[in-house]
Amino acid sequence: MIDAVSFENDTLGYLDQRFLPLKEEYIKTKSHLEAIEAIKTLAVRGAPLIGIVAGYTVILGLNSYQGTKDEFPLYFEKLIQDVEASRPTAVNLFFATACMKAVYDTSFTSDSLEELFAKMLVAARKIHTDEIANCDAMARHGVELIRHDLAETLKTRKLNVLTHCNTGTLATGGSGTALGVIKQAWQEGLIEKVITAESRPLLQGLRLTAWELETENIPFLSISDSSSAFLMQKGMIDFGIVGADRIAANGDTANKIGTFAHAVSAAAHNIPYYIAAPVSTIDITIEDGSHIPIEERSADELRTIFGTQVATPSTPVLNYAFDVTPNQYIRGIVTDKKAVVGNYAEDLKKLIT
């Protein structure tokens, strides 16, 4: 499996995703500031992986601390603020900092800084190992749901599945969320072909998902984001499954920009459209998708393509990195605990408690 992230000898290691698949560069750093920049620039990306790296980034910040225990609370507060300011939408990042703050709240008074830091490292490693295990559980629940919902089609042929952005090992450290379900479905002989939407402007689908599928010898076709409706109309897509960066209590889901457009097209063609995400991506504190903070990114992500200017530098741009798919477009939400179908407000809450 691709090695997306590691933490050994107080050093964060990660595969820089900005130039994959043409350039593979594994970065190692002890600097929390460099780690924060890696999240900001999508050198590391993908909601669960962002959460894993955020946890390790806090550890790097702790290792840089030179002050006294009395001075530590202010330093820790600033460290958490800086990590949380790196990207706003993927709730996994805030799940990771909440885990660190929980250790602080429980142990700061009673423990030495050394003991406190050791406990936070355990918490950071747990986030990492949990997300890997979550992928395997999601894969099982997702395949079970697909076998049920697509049973009629499966009587006569294998399935063609649409996915968007990258939700595989490069986004999770494990087999993946949506792509993990797809990989497992392929292993079980259910998949004919994967249709991976390029995911403009940073092309996570064309670059990263394609690379993962090629690496695993899974047949796929890359398409432009705007092609999905046409392929659905031609009967070339049997279901869609995508990831999530934040799921509201009612099931409304924020994911890479373009996700909602695929969902509307799927609904128009009566094609089931699923979300796959660990429970750590559910934000039960917000009642619906209108409250999810949507990241706006640099205009140059559209005006240039990997350093080549394709529009004038003065071209006005609106570059939302995510959109929100209302729950009525979602046939089911596959989590590590179970697949939730409909009745999201009630059933998602049960997963959290």
Ligand X SMILES: CSC[C@H]1O[C@H](OP(=O)(O)O)[C@H](O)[C@@H]1O
Subset of residues 277 to 296 that bind ligand X, contact rule: CB under 6 A: none
Q: Are strands 322-325 and 304-305 parallel, antiparallel or unpaired?
A: unpaired
Residue placing its CB nearer to ligand X in the complex, 76 or 329 = 329
Mind telling me the catalytic residues?
A: 245
Burial letters 56-83, b for 16+ CB under 10 A, else e: bbbbbbbeeeeeeeeebeebbeebbeeb
The answer to whether the annotation marks 4 as part of a ligand binding site is: no
Which of 57, 86, 172, 196: binder of ligand X (CB under 6 A)?
172
Neighbours of 282 (CB within 10 A): 26
- C-beta nearest to ligand X: residue: 243
Contact present, 133 and 140 (Cβ < 8 Å): no
45 binds ligand X, rule: CB under 6 A: yes
The answer to whether the annotation marks 255 as part of a ligand binding site is: yes
Residue placing its CB nearer to ligand X in the complex, 259 or 265 = 259
Using CA atoms, how far apart are residues 172 and 199, in angstroms rounded to an integer? 18
Window 197-236: contact mask with ligand X (x via CB under 6 A) = -------x--------------------------------
SS (H, E, C) 259-302: HHHHHHHHHHCCCCEEEECCHHHEECCCCCHHHCCCCECCCHHH
Residue 202 C-beta: closest distance to ligand X, Å: 7
The answer to whether the annotation marks 87 as part of a ligand binding site is: yes
Name which of 113, 128, 120 is nearest 58 in CA terms: 120
Window 120-159: contact mask with ligand X (x via CB under 6 A) = ----------------------------------------
- In order, the DSSP letters of 167-200 are -SHHHHSSS-SHHHHHHHHHHTT-EEEEEEE--T
Residue 350 C-beta: closest distance to ligand X, Å: 22
The answer to whether the annotation marks 66 as part of a ligand binding site is: no
Annotated binding site: 45-47, 87, 204, 255-256
Task: Name the site residues for ligand X (rule: CB under 6 A).
Answer: 42, 45-48, 165, 167, 171-172, 177, 204, 242-243, 245, 255-256, 321
Annotated binding site for substrate: 45-47, 87, 204, 255-256
